[in-house]
Amino acid sequence: MDLAISMEEKSSLLQTRVFARDQQLAGPLRLALPPSLATELLMPDLAAFTQLHREIELQIVSSYDTVNLTTRQADLAIRLVFDQMTLPQHLFGTQLHDVHRSVYLSRTLQVRLRNGDQSAAAWILKEEDGEVPSWAAKVVLPIRSPAIKVSDLNTQLAAVRADMGLTILPCFVGDRDPLLVRAQGSGPELYGRLWILTHGETRKTKRVRVFSDFIKGRLAAHAEILNGGMTSDGLA
């Protein structure tokens, strides 16, 4: 077993060093990032990158699971980091922007609540997130029980758009959705910080460097909405 592990590690290192010597703006480039960031914010930017560099084969790994950059599961990763101490020491990373979140409900449900429907709102919670955090529980809304549990972002968005209740979303998701508004009493709350991460050898590859510089600029343009700075109607 020890010999097999050693062989695997040396094979991964060899592949990484060969990849690091590739200075062509052509060939595969494997990017890992959270699904919400890919589908709700960065896809137009990724499309722009593919138009600029048509010879680069962009491979998008959309997952909340942590990929192993050492074994080349991805060439670089955009990761939402909640605690900087959890970052592996052997990776090279650049801090990008803070991500904030807030509580949202549909505009239709907002009208129902304004008209006195006191039993209209329940919490819509992703199972992995546990209970409602204390900052979110301060919203000025009548909440009924029990909460509605969902397993993924797409279902969460569908439920809140269908007037099933209120939910917690990153501001870059909730503020950009024309069907949703922020709940009264729910200001932007810090969620985590975006980092772009690469392996020490992989970062030498030209297309990795070019993509890193490109996406840093695009994320800088999104700084306001990532920080929750976009205004949204609240519940009067």
- CATH code where residue 50 lies: 3.40.190.10
Say if residue 15 is in the same domain as residue 83. Answer: yes
**Closest to 227 measured CA to CA, from 183, 195, 194, 197:** 194
Domain boundaries, position 176: 100-189
> Which secondary structure element, helix H or strand E, spans residue 29, and what is its range?
strand 27-33
Residue 20 has pLDDT above 60, yes or no: no
* The pLDDT value given to residue 234: 38
* The pLDDT value given to residue 235: 35
pLDDT grade, residue 8 (50/70/90)? low
Q: Are 142 and 121 in contact (CB under 8 A)?
A: yes
pTM: 0.81
In whole angstroms, give the CA distance from residue 232 to residue 61: 31
Please tell me which residue, 197 or 119, carries the higher pLDDT value.
197
Count: domains in the chain: 2
Q: Are 41 and 172 in contact (CB under 8 A)?
A: yes
In whole angstroms, give the CA distance from residue 174 to residue 208: 31
Q: Please work out, in degrees rounded to the nearest 5, the angle formed at the alpha carbon of residue 185 by the alpha carbons of 179 and 190.
A: 85
Domain assignment of residue 211, yes or no: yes
Say if residue 42 is in the same domain as residue 157. Answer: no
Residue 101 has pLDDT above 80, yes or no: yes
Say if residue 6 is in the same domain as residue 51. Answer: yes
Q: Give the distance, in angstroms, between the CA of residue 73 and the centroid of all CA atoms in the same chain.
A: 18
Domain assignment of residue 232, yes or no: no
pLDDT digits over 120-130, tens only?
789 999 888 88
Say if residue 171 is in the same domain as residue 125. Answer: yes
